[in-house]
Amino acid sequence: MLQVVNIRELQRRIAVYDDEAAYRELFIQCYQPLQRFANTFVHNDQVAEEIVSDVFIAIWEQRQRLEEILNLKVYLYVSIKNLSLRHLLKQQKKAAISLDELQVDLESHSHDPEQLMITKELLASYEKAVNSLPPRCKLIYKLIREDRLKYKEIAEILNISVKTIDSQLAIALGKIAKAVNVTLKARFD
Q: pLDDT tens across 157-180, in order?
A: 999 999 999 999 999 999 988 888
Q: pLDDT tens across 100-136, in order?
A: 666 666 555 555 555 455 467 777 888 888 899 999 9
Domain ranges in the chain? 4-90, 100-188
Percent of the chain with pLDDT over 70: 81
Query: What top-level class would CATH report for the domain 100-188?
Result: mainly alpha
Q: For position 47, what pLDDT does the model report?
A: 95
CB 62 within 8 A of CB 16: no
Question: Is the pTM higher than 0.85?
Answer: no
Task: Please name the CATH architecture into which domain 4-90 falls.
Answer: Orthogonal Bundle (1.10)
Exposure string over 145-157, b if 16+ CB within 10 A, otherwise e:
bbbebbbebbbbb
